[in-house]
Structure 1
Amino acid sequence: MRAIAFFWTITLIAPQVFGQSPRLVSQTQALARPDQSFAREDSEIARLNCVPMFGEVKKTARQKQEQDAFLQSCDRSFGDRAEASRFFAERGWEYIAEGELDTACYRFNLAYLLDAANSDAYWGMGVVCHQKGNTTEAIRMLKKGVSIDSTDSMLIDDLATLYIQHFTDTKDEKELDAAFTWLGKSMALDSTNANTYLKLALAEYHRTNYDKSWENLHKCRALDVQLLDFDFIQQLVAKREDPQGIFKGKEEEK
């Protein structure tokens, strides 16, 4: 599962931001009934299934009934609920890869329902929010994930990336400060994580510390050259020539 989450980790290029991330039982379908109140309730349940943590609202009796039936079914099909939670989180990442964000969110919601201590559930919900353009909610979800698992450097890198995006949207230096704080925590956990150096390069770029940006970019290159984003490199070259002379601007390459 970690391999899937790593592959779909949130990425950014300066100054633009984009998500590369990031199933359950089929999404609840409202059944046709003569009583329209049932149809309305089914429709609302279906909507909340696609909102992180089921919208964090009080559950209706019908919603409780459906969720209890789901949990009982999982109890019969899996060794325990933690295993079932991991299974649905994995399906969620697959749906993110396919661009089916509502279905992905429902899967992560089910993972959360099965095991509220599964950090992947919050991570996935955060990636869904990010893909939908809601950075504030994405940050909130990833912070919940980090509060459960503060030892996953990739999860922390994604949280830092969201703070960088929020800075590009708001120009609030506090957001960039937060990104540096989280990247420092990630570095303390794993000093060989190439992704952390890449995000540090981006953060330093936004601070106009171009020499430090190059320094971190080359550390990323030394650890994993495949992570490099050449669009970002061109933007950095335009601000400051590569001190090591490895990367050239497009005009210099001609």
Structure 2
Amino acid sequence: MKRIFLAAATILLGASMSFAQEQQPELPPKVRPMFGQVAKTDAEQKADEKFLTSCDKSFESRTEASNFFMERGWEFMNEGQVDTAVYRFNLAWLLNPDNYNTYWAFGVAEYNRGNVGDAIGMFDRALKYQPNNSFLLSDIGSAYLQQYIADKKKKNLKQAAALLDRSLKADPNNAFAMANLAQVHFHNKKYAEAWDYLHRGRDLNIMSLDYNFLSDLMARMPDPKGMFRLETEAPAPAN
């Protein structure tokens, strides 16, 4: 479910980023990654100790407990309850700071809050544990792509391309990496290559298709395969 959620969120991110980058009320530490990375009060530390002791009694190991709270977090994330999800991810992180999935999840949460720079930082933490994870690499590549769309800095587009290439080397059938590479080629004005990657990604997984991007691409170059057409285009004559 994680991959489906992030792929769908990518479509909405462009419209939400400008809003998210405006001054927003600061979230309480419990719904910020790693509890906001701020010092805890004595009462909060005692509450953590009580929670850990309870988990030690209920689970065979803290690794198992951490994975349990990760699953609960993804359930809330896929329902769009990002704050509640992050709190569960925080509990998973508290139980096992070496659970790379917590950093990956924090990255997804920050990505969907529009905090792309923070998302990249969290994805990078996860990447230290899983340097050849294709889906993680494609998520980081997607984040750099969105960063480029926001700031138009070529270095971010180049970084996105490099990470997405690494993703496909790790898994040649990663449809989401292909979909994002289609956008990289689009921004480099290589529309034929963009169509190629878009079709390859779609053939592997229809969920990788971003219809907003599809419209932008059709406006620059007709689909070479004729599968997609703008509404204003006349249908091909019958034989």
1:16 to 3, 14, 35: 14
Q: Distance in 1 between matches of 2:206 and 2:85?
A: 30
Q: Match of 2:58? A: 77
Letter in 1 for 2:79: E
TM-score between both structures, scaled by the size of structure 2: 0.86
User: What do you get for the CA RMSD once the two structures are aligned?
Assistant: 2.1
The counterpart of 2:77, out of the listed 68, 71, 96, is 96
So what's the TM-score if we normalise by structure 1? 0.82
Q: Does the 8 Å contact 1:153/1:190 carry over to 2?
A: yes
- Contact 1:201/1:212, CA 8 A, preserved across alignment: yes
What is the deviation of 1:194? Answer: 1.2
Match of 1:227 in 2: 208
Could you tell me how far apart the structure 1 residues matched to 2:181 and 2:16 are? 17
Asked if the contact 2:4–2:207 (Cα under 8 Å) also holds between the matched residues in 1, the reply is: no
Cα pair distance change 1:177/1:81, threshold 3 Å: same
Q: Does 1:132 align with 2:113?
A: yes
Aligned-residue identity in percent: 36
User: Equivalents in 2 of 1:94, 1:15: separation in Å?
Assistant: 20
Q: 1:173 aligns with which of 143, 151, 154?
A: 154
Q: Deviations over 1:7-56 (max 9, x none)?
A: 2224434993569xxxxxxxxxxxxxxxxxxxxxxxxxx92111111122
Residue 252 of structure 1 corresponds to which residue in structure 2?
233
Q: After superposing the two structures, state which structure 1 stretch, 167-176 or 229-238, moved more.
A: 229-238
Letter in 1 for 2:118: E
Long gaps (5+) in structure 1: 20-45
Aligned to 2:23: none
Q: Distance in 2 between matches of 1:48 and 1:181?
A: 34
In 2, Cα distance between the equivalents of 1:10 and 1:222? 16
Residue correspondences, number: 225
Residue 75 of structure 1, CA deviation = 0.8
Distance 1:253 1:63, change over 3 A: farther
- Residue identity opposite 1:185 in structure 2: R
- Describe the SS at the equivalent of 1:208: coil
- 1:25 counterpart residue number: none
Contact 1:9 / 1:154 at 8 angstroms: preserved in 2? Answer: no
User: Structure 2: which 5+ runs fail to align?
Assistant: 18-26
1:147 is aligned to 2:142: no
* Moved beyond 4 Å, runs of 4+: none
1:212 matches 2:228: no
Quote the residue 1:6 is aligned against: 3
